Amino acid sequence: MQVATGKSILGGVAIGPLRVYRKEETQTAAASALTAEEELARFDAAREKAKEQLRALYDKALEEVGEENAAIFEIHEMMLEDDDYIDAVRSIVENQGATAEYAVATTGDNFAAAFADMEDAYMKARATDVRDVSGRVVNILSGAEEQDALGDEPAILVADDLTPSETVQMDKSKLLGFITRYGSANSHTAILARTMNIPALIGVDYDESWDGKLAVLDGYNHCVYVDPAPELLGAMEDKRKDDLKQEALLQGLKKKPNVTLDGREVKVYANIGNAGDVGLVLQNDGGGIGLFRSEFIYLNSQDFPTEEEQFAIYKRVAETMAGKKVIIRTLDIGADKQADYFGLDKEENPALGYRAIRICLTRRDIFKAQLRAILRASAFGAVSVMFPMIISVREIRDAKDVLEECRGELRERGVAMGEVEIGIMIETPAAVMMAEELAQEVQFFSLGTNDLTQYTLAIDRQNPKLDAFYDAHHPAILRMIRQTVEAGHRHGCWVGICGELGADLTLTETFLRMGVDELSVSPPAILPLRKKIRSLDLSKEPET
């Protein structure tokens, strides 16, 4: 038996034969016998066909993993419209007499290398997206057929890396799990794996001789067993059966209340990125939407979305949720979320820079268009507004003033509006220290534990080299959460958690004992969280 370790993307067990995916490199001739005009015509035709394929992939991903995750294929399509990318291909064809295949492959390699050299971990991960897009165009130009990574039988796929398109195109009935040598926990492929509930390991130094061998992928213990001993195989088969039973039991929790054994009720809401994700919320019986990441509307647009465009999206979500709470976080762009049309300057420390509420309060035309859209949507459901990256009373008062200004403009137009609850994200140590004062300005807090952990520990959460130092359970983080809950409650302000810690079942009891009122998680995490809540008895002393 061989044992190899890696980093788990999703807890779970997969058992089956390993299939080592050896990607065939498309050979590209450098010199062309055609004219530059003919080669560029081939390139343009291939780009159009690639965009058609990406639109089909988007539709497939939309159905399987929701709009937020499907958006990667819209981004891929936008890459094919990028002027710098197109100009680079044209330059190589015209100046070097190269084939379109060679020009696209070279441009893809150069752009991918530029992303890989960036310090920001999120941008590094985009190198895979550039290779994915360029490889698609090269395959079309060369007439290469798409490879079947899995074959006819269900298997655990093993590869150096997988692109988002390869992951989405696979037959999920045959994909038991996957193992890669490279990749990061923040890559789009990893995100897709979590959303599709596929056990996966990254960073595994695999051997090609594994091909065809029986294996167990143990996502709980971050390892893979190749040719497992009979005793281990039996134990893991039992664990897999238990997982399947638990999944079936979770389905039985739909429509059940989120109430502890001693009668404490907790709100369990969902995080979404766009209107297309609402189906996943309803499918998983979410009690509301605790975090609507509105920045994805901007990231998926070629220009600033208009008030009307945003209103249509917010209205659709509010109506679909049928009276359940919908908390819309205002634009949180900047740092690792960039849209070229904003014209943001390059910053040395973007996570500490011009982002979120700082952009909104200094570019009020953008802010007001969004706030008017939110206020108009409030007439169609229980809509709340939440401001991100607030660190002072002055900021929240300024934001509220702009909101009231928008309300006045809509009144003058005779536009109907509902009551809108106002809240803020608690994401920085400064906000925690100011929680007493901030709680007197708003109706609710939502703890963004991802950024709160990053800023408190002074660790870039997207830098894989710092994984060993990153501790989301650090006592300082837990103390800050408790302090925020207590300050909020003293001033009649309810407090929720919308960061990843909200779905950490090892902390659920801790949060409820602190008095946390609401937990907002990804839709697939709702039912496991409900099960955990219903198993707790807070009247008993916690186990030490």
Q: Which amino acid is at 45?
A: A
Rounded to whole angstroms, the Cα distance separating 61 from 437 reads: 44
Q: Is 19 exposed, middle or buried (0-12, 13-18, 19+ CB in 10 A)?
A: buried
Report whether 88 contacts 111 (CB < 8 A). Answer: yes
Rounded to whole angstroms, the Cα distance separating 231 from 194 reads: 29
Rounded to whole angstroms, the Cα distance separating 389 from 430 reads: 10
- Please name the residues in contact with 468: beta carbons below 8 A apart, sequence gap of 6 or more: none
Chain centre to alpha carbon of residue 129: 15
Give the gyration radius of the chain's Cα atoms.
25
The secondary element (H helix, E strand) that includes residue 180 is strand 175-180
Q: How many helices (H) and strands (E) does the chain have?
A: 20, 16
406 catalytically annotated: no
Which listed residue (360, 406, 493, 498) is catalytic? 498
Tokens read off for 235: 């134990």
Q: What is the DSSP letter of 31?
A: B
Q: What does 241-260 look like in DSSP terms, one character per residue?
A: HHHHHHHHHHHTTTT---B-
**Which residues form the catalytic set?**
188, 498
